[in-house]
Structure 1
Amino acid sequence: MTDRDRQHPYPDALRPDAAPAPHELLVPVAGLLGTWVGTGTGGYPTLDEDFAYAQEVTFSHDGRPFLHYEARAWLIDADGAPFRPAARESGWWRLKPEGAIEALVTQPTGITEILVGRVEDGAIDLTTHTVALAPTAKNVEATRRRYTPVDGDTLDFVHDLAAVGHRLQHHLSARLRREDGK
């Protein structure tokens, strides 16, 4: 056994730091892999005013038919400087045959969503299947999320929300650019 084997007991293809090839079911969404950053605007009837925000979204995989999803957002001032965290969520997108997607998304505010949808021509449309709420979480009834590639390095994001007694309506939109060149 070599020193390297003692440090890394996994076969090369299974090492935690290895970059495996994407599973064949990931092919329709492989263009999402990497980190996307940008800015957007948001609003909702329960808020006093609309707001600007910065967002970072990362999609990764480990060779299985799942995407790991992580998103972070910060409120930004008129100069584009972040002044406080606005949202954070993470989860998994389970890719199924024929472009079907089941997504599990959890937020630290006590909201967990299961969304279903599909990818068609590179665009992803996900809608609520189920929402689970912690006892003190804001009442979220439904969401819809759309990710639309504009070109290889630009991704438009739109998020609709039905919460605290309001119907499903526009909440967020952002234009994200690929950060890491993948």
Structure 2
Amino acid sequence: MSFTRKALNAVKYRQNLLRGYRLSLWIKAWGGTCGPRLAVEPGVRLMRPPSKGWYFGSDVYLGHGVVLDVGEKAELVFGDRVKVFHHSLIGAFDSVRIGDNVQVAESVTIRDHNHDTAAVDMHKSMSKAAVSIGNDAWIARGVAVLAGVTVGSGAVVAANAVVTKDVPTMAVAAGVPAKVISHREQLSA
């Protein structure tokens, strides 16, 4: 990599950290918790002000166009070194917990709520169930993680999968709906 490219990347990273610092001040002002080095690309949107249920660990990255739609009494927890890449949406009306070292690729949707299709007026009725993503998981491009799902530690969810049921620890899941297709070897310490 050329010196010029390295210098431009360093400037961009400092700008992302400055945006992250501003967002962390806002999160803390509203009662949330935020660790150091939150890096935020331009275009990140918060649909509502942060609340006490927001927790961001250290070294969190939010890519361009990420949308955080979090209800007033909901819990949104990001562990340390979480990366959420561009144009992903995280919707929490109950609880969304993302563990340490998790990679969420671009255009991913993670929601802990859905319209209650059994209700007469499904647009006014919502069902909610917590979503949890374990440490060291990888959620690939275009995945939809739906309400009530737990993705285990070290699991991989393949591109464009729709996760409607739990994915076990160290499993690889793919498809619509997502099914376990293999298991990974244990992570080395």
Please, what TM-score do these two structures have when normalized by structure 1?
0.29
The structure with the greater share of residues assigned to strand is: 1
Higher relative contact order structure (alpha carbons within 8 Å, sequence separation ≥ 6): 1
